[in-house]
């Protein structure tokens, strides 16, 4: 709360995964310090005036200690939410009067909106890319906002932060090359020039009380480093943590090429490899793909991954449809009945690596996680000959069954489709890796690693897939399931545990290269 009297949190009445009401009918609660934590005061929930689906999450956001308004979001797995607005004074009295604010159709990114005085500053999607806009809270017109800055399809605005007088924002070219800008109080835009060309950026330290701000930058070959942005636009490294160096990776370089997919659409493909690498078909390739929920495959620095390139291999990151590399439209072209674009983009990128004489079939390992299991699993079903191994961590491999499971991903039907719609049902069947396993083809080596405590994807999802694949696989390739009994959907283990995990992944990839 702005006056530090307490805090607001999302409360789940049922947290037993074995119950049908697991994580349903949640609501936001205000807790004032010193009061009985069992005496919950609901402030944002479904009622006779505000109907919210039992699967959706009524969350709230307060941007700063000076805010007089609070935003309520009806959260789902989509990028856009319905929202409501109330005054914080009413919230403190336990009598919120929620008024409709923006609708899902207004295409406001749920995590990109800030109240500043009497205005609401936000990031909005549109057909051209997206924009930063501003409306009056008293008379909001999201169809005709004041436009502060614009992005494009190939280079959209991906995030922004507001300080006392300025707005800092980042654009990302095809999800891999970030540029930074500042919009001052005179509405003048200045491009900033950081110490290196980053692939990913995140702001920190912003406040409505001052103009100080910092930015963390990293990329495929550059470790995450925090910088302070000064008034004149210059940068200086924050010295609260030591600067680590990795001389063993100094000769690793990156490249992004455009690949023509099955329908003529160009798909970005990021490559990481050792300088001077021979372009011949003997190179071993490790592909990491995702392609869902509008999440971009943003560059990340990982010594474990880079070691593959340092030893002479190629790291490949296809930015397939279903992600957000080219804005919201790129996401929508890989959703529901258009999901096939995701795995056909992956297949096109894999074929391109071979056609460019960078590698050959049998020297390509495919790795994915979570929702990427659909993209990678269907690529393996359609073109198993391309891959030497398929490795999937906490994967979604049976999307047709997702609505029958009591998991926290109960709104995933917004991404994949629902069995309750005849057209979307057909799309679910076509995208389901489990349903499309065939006994007539030869599968590569497969390693699936689900988590026993996963509250998003149940264990039977991977179990069914592995059992059917083992039953239909007539070759001598290994088909294995390795269950993690300690962690949930996202691994929260220590560094040593991460090393053990990726040692397993990369050794399986290396061992099953077919030379």
The 10s digit of each residue's pLDDT in 139-172 is 999 999 999 999 988 899 999 999 999 999 999 9
Q: Is the pLDDT confidence value at 408 over 60?
A: no
Q: Give the integer Cα–Cα distance in Å for 68 and 65.
A: 9
Answer for the pair 161, 213: CB distance below 8 angstroms, yes or no.
yes
Question: Sorting pLDDT into bands at 50, 70 and 90, what band is 325?
Answer: very high
Q: Residue range 328-333: average pLDDT?
A: 91
* Closest listed residue to residue 470, CA positions, set 480, 460, 461: 480
Q: What pLDDT score was predicted for residue 474?
A: 83
Q: What pLDDT score was predicted for residue 406?
A: 60
Answer for the pair 18, 405: CB distance below 8 angstroms, yes or no.
no
- Per-residue pLDDT of 240-265, as tens digits, reads 888 888 999 999 999 999 999 999 99
Question: Sorting pLDDT into bands at 50, 70 and 90, what band is 407?
Answer: low
Q: What pLDDT score was predicted for residue 515?
A: 66
Q: Is the pLDDT confidence value at 361 over 90?
A: yes
Q: Is the pLDDT confidence value at 493 over 70?
A: no
Q: Is the pLDDT confidence value at 489 over 90?
A: no
Looking at the chain, the whole-number percentage of residues with pLDDT higher than 90 is 74
The residue with tokens 């790795």 is: 367
**Helical ranges in 93-179 per DSSP H:** none
DSSP string, 462-499: HHHHHHHHHHH--SS--EEE--BSS--SS----HHHHH
Describe the crossing of helices 340-355 and 372-382 by its angle, rounded to 10 degrees.
Answer: 60
Residue 3, Cβ density class (10 Å: 0-12 exposed, 13-18 middle, ≥19 buried): exposed
Which of 185-199, 380-394, 478-492 is predicted least confidently?
478-492
Q: What pLDDT score was predicted for residue 403?
A: 80
Q: Is the pLDDT confidence value at 39 over 60?
A: yes
Q: Is the pLDDT confidence value at 3 over 90?
A: no
Answer for the pair 49, 29: CB distance below 8 angstroms, yes or no.
no
Q: What pLDDT score was predicted for residue 486?
A: 86
Q: Give the integer Cα–Cα distance in Å for 261 and 248.
A: 35
Q: Is 163 helix (H, G, I), strand (E, B) or coil?
A: coil
* Closest listed residue to residue 30, CA positions, set 80, 79, 96: 96
Query: How many CB atoms lie under 10 A from the CB of residue 148?
Result: 19
Q: Give the integer Cα–Cα distance in Å for 421 and 143.
A: 30
This prediction has a pTM of 0.91
Q: Is the pLDDT confidence value at 504 over 80?
A: yes
Q: Residue range 212-240: average pLDDT?
A: 95
Q: Distance of CA 213 to CAs 168, 171, 180, 267, Å?
A: 9, 17, 13, 34
Q: Give the integer Cα–Cα distance in Å for 21 and 19.
A: 5
Q: What pLDDT score was predicted for residue 197?
A: 92
Q: Is the pLDDT confidence value at 129 over 80?
A: no
281 versus 316: which is more confidently predicted?
316
Question: Sorting pLDDT into bands at 50, 70 and 90, what band is 409?
Answer: low
């Amino acid at each position: 709360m702005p006056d530090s009297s307490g805090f607001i949190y999302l409360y789940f009445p049922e947290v037993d995964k074995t119950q049908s009401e697991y994580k349903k009918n949640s609501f936001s609660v205000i807790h004032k310090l010193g009061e009985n934590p069992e005496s919950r005061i609901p402030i944002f929930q479904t009622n006779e005036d505000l109907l919210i689906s039992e699967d959706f999450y009524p969350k709230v956001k307060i941007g700063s200690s000076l805010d007089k308004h609070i935003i309520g979001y009806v959260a789902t797995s989509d990028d856009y939410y319905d929202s409501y607005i109330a005054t914080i004074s009413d919230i403190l009295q336990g009598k919120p009067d929620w008024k409709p604010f923006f609708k899902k159709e207004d295409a406001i990114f749920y995590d990109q909106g800030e109240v500043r005085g009497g205005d609401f500053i936000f990031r909005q999607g549109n057909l051209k890319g997206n924009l930063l806009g501003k409306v009056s809270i008293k008379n909001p017109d999201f169809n005709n906002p004041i436009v502060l800055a614009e992005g494009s399809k190939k280079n959209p605005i991906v995030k922004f932060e507001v300080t006392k007088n300025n707005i800092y924002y980042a654009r990302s070219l095809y999800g891999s090359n970030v540029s930074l800008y500042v919009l001052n109080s005179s509405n003048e835009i200045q491009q900033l020039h950081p110490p290196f060309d980053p692939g990913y950026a995140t702001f920190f330290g912003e406040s409505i009380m001052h103009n100080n701000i910092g930015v963390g930058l990293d990329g495929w070959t550059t470790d995450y480093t925090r910088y302070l942005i000064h008034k004149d636009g210059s940068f200086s490294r924050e010295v609260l943590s030591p600067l680590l160096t990795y001389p063993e990776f100094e000769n690793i370089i990156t490249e992004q090429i455009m690949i023509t997919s099955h329908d003529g659409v160009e798909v970005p493909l990021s490559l990481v490899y050792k300088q001077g690498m021979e372009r011949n078909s003997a190179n071993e390739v490790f592909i990491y793909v995702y392609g869902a929920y509008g999440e971009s495959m943003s560059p990340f620095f990982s010594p474990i991954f880079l070691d593959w390139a340092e030893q002479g291999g190629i790291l490949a990151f296809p930015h397939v449809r279903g992600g957000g590399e080219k804005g919201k439209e790129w996401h929508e072209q890989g959703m529901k009945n258009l999901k096939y674009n995701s795995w056909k983009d992956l297949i096109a990128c894999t074929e391109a690596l071979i056609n460019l004489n960078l590698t050959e079939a049998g020297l390509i390992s495919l790795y994915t996680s979570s929702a990427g299991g659909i993209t990678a699993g269907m690529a393996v079903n359609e073109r198993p000959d391309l891959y030497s191994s398929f490795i999937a961590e906490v994967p979604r491999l049976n999307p047709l069954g997702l609505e029958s499971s009591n998991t926290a991903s109960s709104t995933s039907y917004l991404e994949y489709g629902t069995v309750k719609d005849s057209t979307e049902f057909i799309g679910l069947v076509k995208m389901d890796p489990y349903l499309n396993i065939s006994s007539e083809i030869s599968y590569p080596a497969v390693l699936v690693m689900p988590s026993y405590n996963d509250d998003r994807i149940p264990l039977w999802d991977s179990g069914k897939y592995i059992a059917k694949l083992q039953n239909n696989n007539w070759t001598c390739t290994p088909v294995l399931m390795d269950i993690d009994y300690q962690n949930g959907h996202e691994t929260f283990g220590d560094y040593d545990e991460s090393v053990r995990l990726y040692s397993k992944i990369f050794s399986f990839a290396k061992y099953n290269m077919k030379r």
